[in-house]
């Protein structure tokens, strides 16, 4: 699946995961709204109508009292009007289905209408006793029958209202529970989908980043965990990465082969040149003038510089050709350091430089290094320290041990290196501009080789320097490097050769 399709489907799934609980909540709220509407339009309206009916029934009872005692035309009309209003309300109550019999109420109202008419006739004729009897036996029982029917309807309405309120409460709880339950589930699903999208994008990016970092550090054999695939973006990037790594590896192989062949081919003619220069200096081909001898010294000096350069190139090409393999053996550390100290003490005396060596008290008796290679590293650092330190200066070698690692510090009080040039001193063929103070010119390969050897042991080399105050190199090596992968340097920078 392509990255675009993956993102599209993932975002759609997240949207659906969030929309589904929203739809369910809206549906639950719709049920709650419907229940509330029915409660408003039926039970509440019916209760209002019953209250109005009771009020009218009371008005009818008072109208009947007026009819009995006053028995004029106005009270008779009022009684008939109240009865007509009750009939109209009866038609309205019938719509709410409150369990009452509309025909029963109408029959009671018809009886009430006839009784009130007879009561009015008897009362207006002066037969008060007969009118009173009609009121007691016919009119008031008819009104009481209406009241009884309304009471039964009110009880039914109260039951229905309680049930409707309970339904609304249940719907509210259901909506709340649905929202409380569905939302976390939706968020969890959205989070899992987002996590899947993040991993599906970040993991290939991380693999490519790790691969590019390995290539920048010179590890051209690094494999990334992405299968080449022309049908999706990261697969195409993986294929491009593998093609690039193969091409860079081939270029590196050709470069190393060229350096090795060129160095071997240069070695013979340089030796021939130096041989003839020696013969010229010895006067085999005739006596030389003073000017010719000066020129011959200059040529000899440059030939020796070229010899050192070729030797360095051969050293580094052999180290690279072997894949940075080391001949790791057990070394007596104190013997190794004593030998190193003895070797440079003579040079210190010749140049009138104070040379001090400090050994930590807890140094291990044995370490496991490639002795020749480490000797080459420390020899190069000490040689540079003496080379760039003037007479009367100081060179110090300090060795300490901590956490199964040996830290070797080479410190001098020489000319120092500027902060702008310091990051480049481990680049091949790079030379700082302090060469004017050196007795002999370098090749720009010593520190590059030293860094290769130290990192092949699984260690690290760092440098600090200040112009006019000196330079400090620190080499940290494990006492026993095991399973350490060598990090090769990038292709050489041929900017400055000399």
- For 86, 279, 308, 464, the CA distances from 275, given in Å and listed in that order, are 143, 6, 16, 42
Question: Residue 315: which of 131, 222, 450, 479 has the closest Cα?
Answer: 450
Element (DSSP H or E) covering residue 400:
strand 394-402
- Residue percentage of the chain with pLDDT more than 90: 6
- Average pLDDT on 215-244 reads 79
Q: Is 423 exposed, middle or buried (0-12, 13-18, 19+ CB in 10 A)?
A: exposed
pLDDT, position 317: 64
- Average pLDDT on 128-146 reads 84
Q: Cβ(491)–Cβ(497) under 8 Å? A: no
Element (DSSP H or E) covering residue 153:
helix 140-216
Is the pLDDT at 79 greater than 70? The verdict is yes
pLDDT, position 477: 92
Structural domain spans, the chain: 3-194, 233-318, 327-478
Dist CA 436 CA 434 (whole Å)? 5
- For 73, 282, 423, the CA distances from 131, given in Å and listed in that order, are 15, 172, 127
Question: Residue 445: which of 492, 488, 490 has the closest Cα?
Answer: 492
- Average pLDDT on 359-368 reads 86
> Which of 259-263, 367-371, 376-380, 384-388 is predicted least confidently?
259-263
Please give the CATH number for the structural domain made up of 3-194: 1.20.120
> Which of 79-83, 339-343, 429-433, 494-498 is predicted least confidently?
494-498
pLDDT, position 52: 83
pTM score, two decimals?
Answer: 0.43
pLDDT, position 488: 41
- Residue percentage of the chain with pLDDT more than 70: 86
**Domain covering 327-478 assigned CATH 3.30.565.10 in the classification:** yes
* Higher-confidence position of 163 and 436: 163
Is the pLDDT at 472 greater than 90? The verdict is yes
Is the pLDDT at 108 greater than 50? The verdict is yes
DSSP code at position 489: P
pLDDT tens for residues 22-78? Answer: 777 777 777 777 777 777 777 777 788 778 888 888 888 888 788 777 777 888 888
Dist CA 166 CA 172 (whole Å)? 10
> Which of 84-88, 125-129, 240-244, 260-264 is predicted least confidently?
260-264
Q: Cβ(442)–Cβ(431) under 8 Å? A: yes
> Which of 100-109, 275-284, 315-324, 461-470 is predicted least confidently?
315-324
pLDDT tens for residues 387-433? Answer: 888 888 999 999 998 888 999 999 999 888 888 888 888 887 677 66
User: What CATH class does 233-318 carry?
Assistant: mainly alpha
Is the pLDDT at 324 greater than 70? The verdict is no
The dihedrals phi and psi of 400, each to the nearest 5 degrees, come to -130, 160
* Higher-confidence position of 350 and 321: 350
Question: Mean pLDDT for the chain?
Answer: 79
Dist CA 79 CA 298 (whole Å)? 147
- Average pLDDT on 479-483 reads 70
- For 9, 194, 201, the CA distances from 2, given in Å and listed in that order, are 11, 17, 11
């Amino acid at each position: 699946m392509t990255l675009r399709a993956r993102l599209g489907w993932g975002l759609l799934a997240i949207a659906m995961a969030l929309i589904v609980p929203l739809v369910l909540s809206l549906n639950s709220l719709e049920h709650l709204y419907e229940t509330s509407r029915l409660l408003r339009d039926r039970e509440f309206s019916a209760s209002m109508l019953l209250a109005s009916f009771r009020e009218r029934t009371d008005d009818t009872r008072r109208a009947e009292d007026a009819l009995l005692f006053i028995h004029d035309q106005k009270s008779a009309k009022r009684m008939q009007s109240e009865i007509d209003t009750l009939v109209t309300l009866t038609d309205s109550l019938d719509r709410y289905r409150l369990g009452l019999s509309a025909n029963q109420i109408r029959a009671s109202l018809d009886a009430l209408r006839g009784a009130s008419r007879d009561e009015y006739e008897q009362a207006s004729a002066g037969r008060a006793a007969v009118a009173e009897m009609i009121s007691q036996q016919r009119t008031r029982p008819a009104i009481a029958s209406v009241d009884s029917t309304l009471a039964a309807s009110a009880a039914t309405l109260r039951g229905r209202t309680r049930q409707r309120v309970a339904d609304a409460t249940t719907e509210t709880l259901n909506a709340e529970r649905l929202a409380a339950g569905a939302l976390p589930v939706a968020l969890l699903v959205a989070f899992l989908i987002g996590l899947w999208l993040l991993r599906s994008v970040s993991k290939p990016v991380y693999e490519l980043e790790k691969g590019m970092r390995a290539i920048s550090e010179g590890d051209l054999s690094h494999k990334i965990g992405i299968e080449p695939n022309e049908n999706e973006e990261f697969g195409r990037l993986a294929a491009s990465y593998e093609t690039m790594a193969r091409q860079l590896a081939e270029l590196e192989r050709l470069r190393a082969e060229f350096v090795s062949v060129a160095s071997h081919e240069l070695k013979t003619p340089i030796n021939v040149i130096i041989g003839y220069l020696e013969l010229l200096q010895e006067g085999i081909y005739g006596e030389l003038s003073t000017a010719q001898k000066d020129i011959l010294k200059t040529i000899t000096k440059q030939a020796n510089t070229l010899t050192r350069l070729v030797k360095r190139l051969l050293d580094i090409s052999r180290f690279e050709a072997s894949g940075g393999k080391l001949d790791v053996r057990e070394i007596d550390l104190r013997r190794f350091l004593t030998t190193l100290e003895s070797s440079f003490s003579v040079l210190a005396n010749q140049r009138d430089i104070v040379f001090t060596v400090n050994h930590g008290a807890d140094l291990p008796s044995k370490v496991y290094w490639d002795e020749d290679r480490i000797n080459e590293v420390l020899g190069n650092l000490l040689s540079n320290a003496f080379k760039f330190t003037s007479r009367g200066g100081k060179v110090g070698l300090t060795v300490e041990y901590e956490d199964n690692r040996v830290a070797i510090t080479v410190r001098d009080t020489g000319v120092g290196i500027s902060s702008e040039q310091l990051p480049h001193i481990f680049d091949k063929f790079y030379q700082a501009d302090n060469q004017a103070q050196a007795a002999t010119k370098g090749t720009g390969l010593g520190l590059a080789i030293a860094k290769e050897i130290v990192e092949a042991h699984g260690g690290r080399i760092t440098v600090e320097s200040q112009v006019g105050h000196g330079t400090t190199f620190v080499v940290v090596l494990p006492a026993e490097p095991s399973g350490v992968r060598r990090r090769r340097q990038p292709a050489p920078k041929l900017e400055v050769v000399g």
